[in-house]
Amino acid sequence: MDLSDPYYYQQWKKLIENEGLYIENLDDITETIGIYDEDKLIATGSYFNNVLKYLAIDQEYQGGNVFNKLVSYLISNLASQNIFHVFVFTKTQYQSSFEYLGFKMVAKSRFSTLLETGDYSIDQYISELPKVSGNNISAIVMNANPFTLGHRYLVEEAAKQSDMVYVFVVSQNASLFKTSERVELVKAGTKDLKNVVVITGGDYMVSFVTFPSYFIKSRSDVVTYQTELDAQVFKRIAKSLKYY
């Protein structure tokens, strides 16, 4: 669907709003698809990079196979672009619908669930992290855009009080410096601290992922819900590394 075309946009907008969703920045949509019954738009879904967004189905067509067709088509579309690791945020009551299609839960808060499917998973990310020893292990998540003396002070103080320190660098190329550049800056700025390990946060550490607030009614709650879900993702990783 070409949302720059007023005809399609109005159809899309009506369905989105009828299903209780809230339109955000259209720049955060890579592509949108629609399913029609003759001239009536009955379902729509979008994605931004590898995150599914704005999934909505007309109430008359819910409970059938329209949802399966919609999600399957979006995943196939991404696969044709060599994108095989896909995320979706959804309200908790819809979690099982995505799990039925093969999605697995990454983290869950009181309001929303983050799920993923494809050729990579949070378990694989965890298994690839360097393992360290010690009784007092700490972790810091930072964007480091760029790495400053303030960042250095934070890492140095943690290193003084810990046997080992993980520094997770947020992996998102929407910053002034690319992820690879920021990782190298942090490594260079902490190379004298022998008990510090610098690694990328991948798709999981407070990074991305364009947290979709389009299904949150109160705009003032957006940051709260995002922080809550980010914390649950971090908690899962931290527990697996034995420093939670």
Task: Report yes or no: 78 and 45 within 8 Å, Cβ to Cβ.
Answer: no
Q: What is the pTM of this model?
A: 0.87
Residue 244 pLDDT: 41
| Token representation of residue 189 | 């700025």
Q: Which residues of the chain have pLDDT under 50?
A: 208, 210, 243-244
Say how far apart CA 185 and CA 191 lie, in whole Å: 10
What ranges in the chain are assigned the alpha helix state H? 6-18, 66-79, 95-100, 122-128, 149-161, 179-189, 222-240
pLDDT tens by residue, 108-130 = 988 789 999 999 999 999 999 99
The confidence score (pLDDT) of residue 218 equals 64
Residue 212 is predicted with a pLDDT of 61
Q: Which long-range contacts (CB under 8 A, 24 or more apart) does 206-209 make?
A: 206/141, 206/170, 206/230, 206/233, 206/234, 207/170, 207/171, 207/172, 208/51, 208/87, 208/171, 208/172, 209/51, 209/87, 209/114
Which contacts (CB < 8 Å, 24+ apart) does range 216-220 have?
A: 216/22, 216/111, 217/20, 217/22
Q: Encoding tokens for residue 170?
A: 């947020």
The whole-number pLDDT of residue 225 equals 78
pLDDT at 211: 58
- Cα Rg for the chain, rounded, in angstroms? 20
